[in-house]
Structure 1
Amino acid sequence: MSFRLKLLLVLVVTGVGPVLLLGLFTFFANRDHLRETAGRLQLQAAVDIARSTGRDVLRGVDDLRASGDYLGLERLQPEQVGSVLAIPYRQLRAVSALAVLDGRGNAVAPAVYTPVERPVPGRTAMDAGALEAFSSHVPFTAAMASRAAVGPPYAPPGAADARVALAVRLGTDGEAPARLLVAELALQQLGERLREAAGSGGRALLVDASGAPVTRVTAGASGEGALSEGELALVRVGLRDQAPAMRAVQDAAGREWLAAFAPVPDLGWGVLVTRSAEVAYGPAQSVRRYTLFGTALALLAAAALGLVLAREVSAPLARLAGAVEALGEGRYDTPVPVTSSDEVGQLGRALAHMAQEVRRRDGEIRTWGEQLQQRVDEKTRELQEAHAQVARSRHLAGLGSLAAGVAHELNNPLTGVIGLAGLLRREVKGPPGEKMISALLEQAQRIATIARRVREMVDQERQGAGVRFSLLQPVRAALEELQPALDARPNVSLVLELPEEQTGDVGEDALEVEGHPESLKQLVTHLVQNALTAMQERGGQLTVGCGAGAPGALRLWVADTGCGIPERLRERIFDPFFTTKAESNRLGLGLSLCHQIVDAHHGRIRVESTEGVGSTFTVLLPQAAEGAHLQ
């Protein structure tokens, strides 16, 4: 006999009378609690609307104050105020109008708003009546006395949502003449919350400090008309005590309503939400039906399982439940008990097969997930580095172009200055004139050197593909040229990490690169000179090396154990004329020229530095002129 047939026989035999009695008892025992819960929910809805309204208004005051402080409206001329006001008006979407008033309440410039003739999506349009309502509700006196004020809420003729006028005094105390930045805040979100709270068969409204309704949302004819005496009494008590309150009230027709009131914090307003008792207590009636139906089914099933199916169903299901729990905990090797040939047995065998499949697929998913995460992390890192490189290259290109233009403009008059200074030195003999002319000529020559270095930096971008050569060639040439400088620094030890130094094999074919040997020699020279300068005070170890990098790319590095580069300066070290060195004769063009050389060779340059420990500059160069995927 199948499990379904067994269950069908039990359901037919088992009675439902005790279940119905238990359901009715449960409903009557919890009816009052359900009604109280419905009332609390309605009161909480009113409290939430009031609090959110208070937050929206105070946030609007803060935004208005921040805009006034940032823009400096108190110092602007009247003709400037209108255009500047357009900036916060575009940013503050909830503001429908902005204006600046002088100390007598007159507008300094025309107000900024969206007229009804030219509506803008997402903006509250204003007509003449709305502007008049706004101007009449500006809290001018209060704002002049306390720097910031919020006016009473109001609804212009024909407006669906409430609005409020805000005002903040501009400038600091003692400044004259005083000005006010005023704004009309459209409480559109309040209108949406009121409509949601009204639901069906109810109404929700905002009242001002006197208890008069400002705007209301009604659902059906039952919500129309003036407030009843009970609602007015509830509003007066709530405004007086500034505390949420709830009570049952009756309208003129004798119908019962559930009313909840909550004050708006710090503003003296209030939110009133009323619903008919039939609608408010509707969930309690639904709970009665659901309780009866659910309790009947649950007890009926429990009785059936307890009377007939305890042995044939409960025990196998308990074992299957244990197997499922083990499967959920990841113990896929837990055996699934299969002892019968009915549906429970089939379920057990299917569960055993599923456990094996889940185990296999879980392993595959974990493996794929780890591989995918590694690839995502790798590609993300590469993308971030590429973006940083592109941004830095654009920045340096702009600075380089500007500097090249300046250098070009200086070159012609500077040539004349140098020539005239040379002639003048021949004519003037003896101190102090000869000394002053020599100093003038020396400084002019220094300016010419700077201009030449700037032109060299820009010329790096205009070079072609170049020739193929071994990267060892410019490295050895630069070190040979710098040998006197290295010999003059006995406190600096040179460590070479070149292929011939490590393996005895020159490996020049493997280190071929396409480009300009002289430019790369200049690159190595500047990096080594920079390292020597970093170790000028305490000496240390200078490491120069090159070798294979990513597929299709070579790697060149220069490391020192000098003073290091502060973290706050690392993003600027490649800027033209930027230097961290104290010597006045340093031009600050070396690293910028290095960056231009690397860019011209389609490469990348990175720096890793720890202040007080040292720095490592790493250059990645593609072996082909069109570039490689550098990591």
Structure 2
Amino acid sequence: MRIRSRLLLLLITIAAAPTLAVGLLAWRAAERALSEAVAEQHRRTARAEAAQASTHVLSLATELGGALLLEDPHRLGPARAQEFLTRVFLRRDAIAQVGLFDEQGQLTASVFVDDPEAFARQEPQFRRHATVAAGEVEDFQHRAAGLLSRVPEGRAYAVSAPYLTAVRRRPAVVVAARASGTQAGGLAAELGLEELSQRLAEGGAGHERIFLLDGAGRLLLDGAPERERRQEDFSGKLPGAAGAKQTGLGEYEEEGRAWLAAFSPVPELGWVAVVARPREAALEPLHALSRSTFGVLGLTLVGVLALAPVLARALARPIARLAEGSRELARGNLAHRITLKRRDELGDLARAFNDMGQALEQAHRELLGFNEQLAAQVEERTKELRQTQVQLSRSQRLAAMGDLAAGMAHEMNNPLAAVLGNVQLMLMDLPPEDPSRRMLGTVHQQAQRIASIVRELQLLSERQQLGRLPLDLHRMLQRVLESRGPELTQVGVQVDCRFHPGDVKVLGDTQALGDVFGRLLGNALNAMRDRPERNLVLTTQVMDAQLVRVEMRDTGRGIAREHLERIFNPFFTTKQQWTGKGLSLAVCHRVVEDHGGSITLHSDEGVGTTVTLVLPAAPASGGLV
């Protein structure tokens, strides 16, 4: 062999061998880092899709449970129960049918669309709901009754296993809710999963595929109705995914292609979210790196005498930077970017790497934002539940006091009637100048006061069967203010009415609600006596066209914070001179509760008191009283 040839071979060996070694080491590091980054991205996407699927279904369960907390449909008449179910039905377009079941699991009322045109004439919103066949109604009734009977102890709702509807062959689940502390039937709805399926179809980027498996590992949703109807079994192709309890990774083959997959359990539903991508697509950046590396090595071998050192440095540094960037990305530093000003394959790989890092960082931010939003929703629902629990506890206390008051009133009525009758007879027999007449008059006056207290106790103890008629709230409030006009003028109270524009109608009994506002106005007048500032603000507001909010705010003495929890208790009063009976607010609470509304009180001592009433709004077609 010639010396020139040996020198060339030596130069090739010296130049190419280190370059080849550095390239292989960098390629392996990049492969490992890229594989870890892709796997982590898939895991995060799978967890996000699992959380979204859980929220899509469980939010309906929370809404059904909340509806039962606000109102017990089993105590409503047929018309109001149907109206209650219609409100629930119209909350979501994905609800196919909703039903109310008694304790024997029998369907007592239901809402579903079987004639779209007829329902659309009733309510345009019905047009957005799917048409249900008769066989599907029977299937829903059977599934809902069985699900309600299996609601675990201590839980308010349950979700059925996913199934295909009997006629339309569309994926759906039954969501059932039962009122806390009762076994008397409940509320159930069939939730269609087409919206969730469409979201899965739109969520996959590029070659990515996102789908859901049921608890047995069968395909549940992936955006393709044909595949969903086949319910392909993945339990053998993707071991570990069926019934998974935690996030994991796996591989499977389909139609001759190898897929990399990550899966995550869907909370509380027993489903599994899977994110998959073809192996060649997932490792495409690494393949690009491999091709560019070996291309550079070829050029190095051709121009080794002059370019070997330069090419070695030009290749080693960018590849090392790519490897370092991959390691940074694998360590969780999603903000890391590679600065590589090249226009060759290495530059393309660096830009692809930066784009991938930016996409991962954006997905991470969105996931954090979703978590914050979910935490805020949970906090809001917890606050609403806590307020409902306080209202329920107060109602239970008033009910117990009402039972005691009913017994007292029953036992006192007969003796009191005898005392009043005998005193009246004695007064009739005594001449006007008799000294005993004054004493008997005092006895008669106090006995009548006791009779008045007994009547108040009966109002507190008996559940009012009030007429539910549409009435003009503003007209009723004006009548109450006019009845107290002289007293308002005498005390020097300035009244500011801030009414909602137009007519405001509520369902209720005019006399009973007028008595409530009269009592509240009397309490406000009593609190503002001898106050330097005497202002009364009366506000009405329509909320969501279903509820009406009334606020009465005064500038009276206010109520100490430690007394606020007892303010609705019978015989409790904060008046400086107890001239009444201490029953007004308790009676108001009972009347408002009988109307299906709520009453709350906020007060700052020395500043004033605000009483808030929420009453059901009357339908727009009802006449005014």
Coarse TM-score class (shorter-chain normalised): 0.3 to 0.5
Give TM-score, length-normalised by structure 1: 0.45
Larger radius of gyration: 1
